């Protein structure tokens, strides 16, 4: 039995995938909604700022999971095509709905005929490109061995995270470079593992990450008010933030070490999680989704328990919608389409070209 087949049934990691997407969704609720645009720092806004901390961590976790699973897996062109088909279907569907509901020019959907090439979903573009490079990245991690790979991660962390966090300079940063870096860390964990003398250390660090990061937000708010400045209160919650990087890795290790039997509900929710992102962060549709569908602006000034309740309701609602749409899409489009075997020999040739040649290469 291949290692990749065992890992795909690890419901502890699948649960982390669900939690990661929930964190991203809540982040989008706060950012794309109107709560963070409220002038004064109300209780709801302060709660929203705290809940927003997990957004970029969720992105990091998704790529860590990808690297963790892929290190002993092979590139599959069918997997890539299925992902691209999923993105294409949602992109076109939501673009058409947006044009209909907003009465905008139909030409506005032209770019979404090529959602990945034109960065219609920034995350998807970087994710797909990272997947294409995954066989080469896997070879790199294996050839470097544990100690040299650790050096690469430390140097990469210094250049891509510590310097930008301390000096606010991102001289070679791009989404793709960061995804590749996070992929390498995930692959390293999958291949060589990361162990702590005290098993509680990752959990403690994860909790400290939340406390310290939120503390930086509160302190920055106070400094802005006292000195009449405009420092970025979310500086330490950025994708490349050192605090976020450490928090992401530790949280991943926490869930990796949890022993959960394979759970069909968790695995199904993980399977549809990506669709919740496609539904809620479409470039044309997201304004409609957060203002007209979720009506986030209505809940800016309500009691805090109602505000949190609305976030939970929206989260549950998006998963229900995603579950329905994904089930329909898979059984009516994806499965019938990929049952066609006429192109399989060409797909196999592409897989062989991407994988076997790499496996036979010498360090």
The answer to whether residue 357 scores a pLDDT higher than 60 is no
Q: What confidence tens digit (pLDDT) does each residue in 333-354 have? A: 999 999 988 989 999 999 999 9
Report how far residue 348's alpha carbon sits from residue 353's, in angstroms, rounded to the nearest whole number: 8
Q: Tell me how far CA of residue 289 lies from CA of 184, 265, 278, in angstroms.
A: 34, 26, 11
Q: Report the helix count and the strand count for the chain, using DSSP H and E.
A: 15, 0
The answer to whether residue 321 scores a pLDDT higher than 60 is yes
The answer to whether residue 32 scores a pLDDT higher than 60 is yes
| Closest alpha carbon to 90 in 68, 66, 115 | 115
6-10, 89-93, 158-162: the lowest-pLDDT one: 6-10
Give me the pLDDT at residue 315, please. 96
pLDDT category at 95 given cuts 50, 70, 90 is confident
37 half-sphere exposure, CB direction, 13 A CA radius: 8
The answer to whether residue 362 scores a pLDDT higher than 50 is no
Find the mean pLDDT for residues 99-106. Answer: 71
Give me the pLDDT at residue 286, please. 87
167-202: b or e for each residue (b if 16 or more CB lie within 10 Å)?
A: eeebeebebebbbbbbbbbbbbbbbbeeeeeeeeeb
The answer to whether residue 214 scores a pLDDT higher than 60 is yes
Q: What confidence tens digit (pLDDT) does each residue in 133-150 have? A: 999 999 999 999 999 999
Q: What confidence tens digit (pLDDT) does each residue in 220-230 have? A: 999 999 888 88
Between residues 115 and 100, the one the model is more confident about? 100
Q: What confidence tens digit (pLDDT) does each residue in 231-280 have? A: 889 999 989 999 999 999 999 999 999 988 889 999 999 999 999 999 99
Give me the pLDDT at residue 363, please. 42
pLDDT category at 1 given cuts 50, 70, 90 is very low
Determine the straight-line distance between the first and last CA of the chain, rounded to whole angstroms.
Answer: 27
Judge contact between 334 and 85, C-beta under 8 A.
Answer: yes
The answer to whether residue 314 scores a pLDDT higher than 50 is yes
The answer to whether residue 3 scores a pLDDT higher than 60 is no
Find the mean pLDDT for residues 168-175. Answer: 84
Q: Tell me how far CA of residue 3 lies from CA of 23, 134, 145, 201, in angstroms.
A: 28, 16, 19, 27
Give me the pLDDT at residue 105, please. 63
60-69, 107-116, 286-295, 326-335: the lowest-pLDDT one: 107-116
The answer to whether residue 157 scores a pLDDT higher than 90 is yes
Phi and psi, residue 207, nearest 5°:
-65, -40
pLDDT category at 360 given cuts 50, 70, 90 is very low
pLDDT category at 107 given cuts 50, 70, 90 is low
Give me the pLDDT at residue 119, please. 67
Find the mean pLDDT for residues 105-117. Answer: 63
- Residue 351 burial (10 A CB sphere; 0-12, 13-18, 19+): middle
Q: What confidence tens digit (pLDDT) does each residue in 7-30 have? A: 446 799 999 999 999 999 999 999
Give me the pLDDT at residue 109, please. 60
Give me the pLDDT at residue 4, please. 41
């Amino acid at each position: 039995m291949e290692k990749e087949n065992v890992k795909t049934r690890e419901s502890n990691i699948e649960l982390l995938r669900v939690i990661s997407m929930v964190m991203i969704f809540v982040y989008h609720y706060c950012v794309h909604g109107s709560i963070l645009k409220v002038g004064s720092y109300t209780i709801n806004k302060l709660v929203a700022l705290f809940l927003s901390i997990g957004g970029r961590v969720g992105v990091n976790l998704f790529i860590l999971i990808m690297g963790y699973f892929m290190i002993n897996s092979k590139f599959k062109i069918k997997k890539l095509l299925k992902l691209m088909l999923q993105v294409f279907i949602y992109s076109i569907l939501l673009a058409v709905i947006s044009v209909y509901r907003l009465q905008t020019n139909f030409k506005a959907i032209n770019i979404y005929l090529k959602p990945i090439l034109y960065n219609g979903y920034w995350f998807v573009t970087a994710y797909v490109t990272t997947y294409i490079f995954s066989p080469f990245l896997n070879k790199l991690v294996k050839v470097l061995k544990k100690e040299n790979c650790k050096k690469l991660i430390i140097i990469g962390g210094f250049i891509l995270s510590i310097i930008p966090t301390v000096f606010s300079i991102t001289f070679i940063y791009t989404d793709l470079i960061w995804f590749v870096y996070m992929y390498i860390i995930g692959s390293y964990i999958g291949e060589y593992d990361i162990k702590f003398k005290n098993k509680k250390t990752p959990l403690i660090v994860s909790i400290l990450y939340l406390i310290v990061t939120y503390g930086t937000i509160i302190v920055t708010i106070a400094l802005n008010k006292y000195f009449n400045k405009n420092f970025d209160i979310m500086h330490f919650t950025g994708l490349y933030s050192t605090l976020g990087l450490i928090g992401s890795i530790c949280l991943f290790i926490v869930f990796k070490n949890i022993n959960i039997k394979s759970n069909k509900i968790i695995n199904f929710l993980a399977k549809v999680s990506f669709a919740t992102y496609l539904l809620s962060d479409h470039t044309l549709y997201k304004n409609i989704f957060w203002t007209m569908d979720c009506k986030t602006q209505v809940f800016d000034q309500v009691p805090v328990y109602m505000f949190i309740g609305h976030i939970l309701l929206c989260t549950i609602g998006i998963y229900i919608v995603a579950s329905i749409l994904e089930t329909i899409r898979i059984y009516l489009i994806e499965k019938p389409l990929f049952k066609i075997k006429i192109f399989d020999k060409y797909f196999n040739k592409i897989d062989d070209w991407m994988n076997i040649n790499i496996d036979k290469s010498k360090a």
